[in-house]
């Protein structure tokens, strides 16, 4: 163990990804999830403002997305700072509407 106790880390991410084709093939948008995370009230109130996940809702006419996101990891300090993980998850969580 390097550290003991609880801790948090704010991650600033820049995301560049293919959008419309990949999302349409999968049937929904992608989601970025940072772990570990704890339930509210958590380790630091700032993590409640930033959260541990963000859903990317690309516009159908765009070929790619480019955005900045801030995600927070929190919990046991070694896991939250030294072994934090950001995953890209394909999801069906959004409603897609076709306009003719």
Q: Over 60: is that where the pLDDT of 57 sits?
A: yes
Cα Rg of the chain, angstroms:
16
34-44 pLDDT, tens digit per residue, is 988 877 777 78
Q: Domain segments of the chain: what residues?
A: 6-90
pTM of the model: 0.72
Q: Which residues, listed in sequence order, are joined to residue 12 by a DSSP beta bridge?
A: 70
Q: Which of 12-16, 41-45, 96-100 has the highest mean pLDDT?
A: 12-16
pLDDT score, position 3: 76
Which pair of tokens denotes residue 2?
């390097």
Higher pLDDT, 31 or 24: 31
Mean pLDDT on 24-36: 76
Residues 6+ apart with CB under 8 A from 89: 30, 31, 32, 33
């Amino acid at each position: 163990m390097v550290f003991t106790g609880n801790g948090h880390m704010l991650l600033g991410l820049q995301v560049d990804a293919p959008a419309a084709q990949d999302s349409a093939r999968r049937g929904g948008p992608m989601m970025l999830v940072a772990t570990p995370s704890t339930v509210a009230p958590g380790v630091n109130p700032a993590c409640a403002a930033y959260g541990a996940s963000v859903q990317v809702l690309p516009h159908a006419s765009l070929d790619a997305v480019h955005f900045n996101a801030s995600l927070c990891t929190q919990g046991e300090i070694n896991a939250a700072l030294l072994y934090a993980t950001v995953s890209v998850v394909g999801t069906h969580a959004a409603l897609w509407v076709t306009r003719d």
